[in-house]
Amino acid sequence: MKDKRPIDKIRESSGHAEIGSAEDGAIIEMKNIGNRILIIKEKSIYEMVMADSIDPDRTNINLPTTIHKLIIDKGAESETVSRTLLTAMTLFRTEYMLGSIDCNKVIGLTIDILSEISILEKEIDEYQKTENKVSEEYEERKNQNVSYKLPSIINLESKCKTIFQKADHIEQTLMEIITVFYPNQGLTKQSHFPNFCEILKTKYGETDPFVEFIKKTLFFMQVIRELRNGFDHRLEHTTVLDFELQTDGNILKPTIELKHKKIKLERTSLSEFLEITTKNMLDITELIFVLLASKNNRNIGIPHEVRQIPEDQRRNKFVKYCFWSPIGNGGFYSQ
């Protein structure tokens, strides 16, 4: 038998690894998703990479046995992480889903959505802080009766372009997830919610809860898509206006307006619309996951269905849905 090389002994020996720092909190869960090992901590998510995946021929003895990298600077305590990734991990499990559903692929795509939503939230938060700061500085100058200077936000259109690109990317990734559950329906990543709505109508009927929910999202999602197109291509139907001086001496904060021939958004506060955008994207993602899981339930053996978890029984206060079985007093919530 051939003796093991020193590098083989190192790679194959047991050991331990420090993931992140104490500021990240405790490790809540470890999960292998499509050969990716995710470490979910209270305030961050890391991926652990094994040395053999980087150096399969074992040529570099100095390479650390395990390497970790930060994926998202939010963890299990985050509402955003909980309502996307942790909800997906709770619902999309092989014991509950139809055999044709690639749960690992769905979870992998959910990580992409989480990344896009996190960036979207940061961009919007930065914009709102800038708008508030500029407004406060204007009011201070106004009260001190110093020389007049109209407030403004530098590169306002560029900021909007970035924000609505991210929002549109979320829809594209949601559509990619949807194609896993509804293949061979003519849907692609580049499809949009109106296409999906028509397929659901044919499959489940006009009054189905899934159809009703997607109908409610159509206006908002179409507005997002046309705003993204408008800012990308500098189209006349998309307008964002910086601070404006009113005749009474007050200022009107930045506004946004869409005058597309098929879909319109009346002139409204940019800050308020951005706040709605983050809320809606999170709500839509979470509820699409719930409805996809419910419609593609394997339902073999003990009956089970997707239900909302009572607040006093939640392992994580932001993970609101899971599969429920009629076992014991009040049933069993599989969290």
Q: For each of the chain's 335 residues, which pLDDT tens digit applies?
A: 567 888 888 878 776 677 888 899 999 988 888 778 899 999 999 998 888 878 888 888 888 888 888 999 999 999 999 999 999 999 999 999 999 999 999 999 999 999 999 999 999 999 999 999 999 888 888 777 666 678 999 999 999 999 999 999 999 999 999 999 999 999 999 999 999 999 999 999 999 999 999 999 999 999 999 999 999 999 999 999 999 988 887 889 999 999 999 999 999 999 999 999 999 999 999 999 999 999 999 987 788 999 999 999 999 999 999 999 999 898 999 99
Q: Taking Cα atoms as reference points, which of 29, 167, 35, 44 lies closest to residue 105?
A: 35
Residue 1, pLDDT score: 53
Rounded distance between C-alpha atoms, residue 160 and residue 228, angstroms? 9
Residue 146, pLDDT score: 63
Q: 36-56 as b/e, with b when 16 or more CB fall inside 10 Å?
A: bbbbbbebbbbbbeebeeeee
Rounded distance between C-alpha atoms, residue 269 and residue 242, angstroms? 11
Residue 15, pLDDT score: 62
Residue 302, pLDDT score: 83
Residue 185, pLDDT score: 93
Residue 150, pLDDT score: 86
> Exposed, middle or buried: residue 146 (CB in 10 Å: 0-12, 13-18, 19+)?
exposed
Residue 284, pLDDT score: 98
Residue 271, pLDDT score: 97
> Could you give the C-alpha distances from 43 to 75, 110, 140, in angstroms and in order?
4, 18, 37
